[in-house]
Amino acid sequence: MPRGFTLFELVISIAVLSILLMAAGPSFTRLLEDQSVKRFAGEIEGFFIQAKSESVLQNKKLNLFYIDDSVSWIISLNPEGSSVATIAEAKNTSLAFIESLNHPNITMSSSISALTFDPVRATPNLSRSFYFYKDNNKKLKLSVHNITGRIKLCGLEGAFYGYKKC
């Protein structure tokens, strides 16, 4: 009685496995893209929390700058009194930053270019929102409130990536 598999049985098994993997490929790609957006959402939310904490820790007003030069973008946390106009200036003077180079294919936008965090209350001087997405139909919105200092992350037009609808 022979033991093992014949070459024909191995070829058939590999062919069936290949077909199953090809069918799972597109959904796996979508899963990876969704995870990269969720990871970025957590990172940007953490960055805003860090900005609030750092302002209190240093007992100084800190500026958060958002610069978008249509090719790339950056969000940087800079000491009070600093003013930046370019991404290179933001990198050179920042305490911390997040840039599009580390997050390819994520588009970001905001109606403001700067926020100032108060060192006593850990609140920004303005209530503003930042929008980001990889898929234009699944935009996420990060809002900061100037009175409470609350940071809220939600899906703009629906529940996306595990975040509730705004």
The per-residue pLDDT string of the chain (166 residues; one tens digit each, 9 = 90 and over) reads: 567 888 898 899 999 998 888 887 677 777 788 888 899 999 999 999 999 999 999 999 999 999 998 889 999 999 988 888 899 999 999 999 999 999 888 999 998 889 999 999 999 999 999 999 988 889 999 999 999 999 999 999 999 888 999 9
SS (H, E, C) the chain: CCCCCCHHHHHHHHHHHHHHHHHHHHHHHHHHHHHHHHHHHHHHHHHHHHHHHHHHHHCCCEEEEEEECCCCEEEEEEECCCCCCCHHHHHHHCCEEEEHHHCCCCEEEECCCEEEECCCCCCECCCEEEEEECCCCCCEEEEECCCCCCEEEEECCCCECCECEC
Asked if residues 131 and 108 have their Cβ atoms less than 8 Å apart, the reply is yes
Which CATH class for the 8-57+98-155 domain? alpha beta
CA 103 vs. chain centroid, Å, equals 7
Predicted confidence at residue 1, as pLDDT, reads 58
Of 36, 19, 14, 8, give the one whose Cα is nearest residue 103.
36
Predicted confidence at residue 72, as pLDDT, reads 93
Separation of alpha carbons 2 and 21, rounded Å: 31
Domain parsing of the chain, residue ranges: 8-57+98-155
**pTM score, whole prediction:** 0.81
- 10 Å Cβ neighbour count for 79? 13
